[in-house]
Amino acid sequence: MEQKSYEDAVGYCTKALENNPHFSKALKRRARANWEWGKWSALEASLKDCEEYLKPFPGDQEIQKLHSQLPARIELQKKRETEEMMGKLKDVGNQFLGMFGMTLDNFQMKQDPKTGSYSVQMNNEAKKNDKFNVYFTFFKIYGSFVSKIREA
């Protein structure tokens, strides 16, 4: 079955459960479809469905097996999707900073041990970047100019 088919199966089972909340076959199928779909949110939904299904059917070995494997699989998928999202965010940041001849590698984050908050600082290589310094100076002057206009 293709990804779209798992998504469709989840939708059909959800619709069936809306019409009849005690339709155990639909709950079981939705748990399996979410498992196969494999997205982080789908796996979490599968875990909830398994727990709900096991209340009236604690002896169902297929769902017991799914239920026991889900926490580790959820953590793995959560890590994968988080890394993918962070990579995309880094790409966007690098695309913007590229206009100034920089990348995110020109910055470092430092955590304050007292508060837990982070501060972002440019590393020494970034400070040597002439193109950045020109843009920085321009925006600094532009900001002062705009402030003076607003005051007038």
Per-residue pLDDT of the chain (152 residues; tens, 9 = 90+): 455 799 999 999 999 999 999 999 999 999 999 999 999 999 999 999 999 999 999 999 999 999 999 999 999 999 999 999 988 988 988 888 787 777 888 777 788 899 888 777 777 765 565 666 656 666 666 666 667 677 76
Question: CA nearest 126: which of 116, 139, 136, 140?
Answer: 136
What Å distances lie between residue 143 and 6, 125, 151, CA to CA?
Answer: 52, 25, 12
Give φ, ψ of 22 to 5 degrees.
-100, 15
Q: Residues with Cβ < 8 Å from 23, sequence gap 6 or more?
A: 16, 17
* Residue 1 pLDDT: 46
* Residue 71 pLDDT: 98
Q: What type of residue sits at position 139?
A: F
pTM of the model: 0.68
- Segment (H or E) for 83: helix 61-98
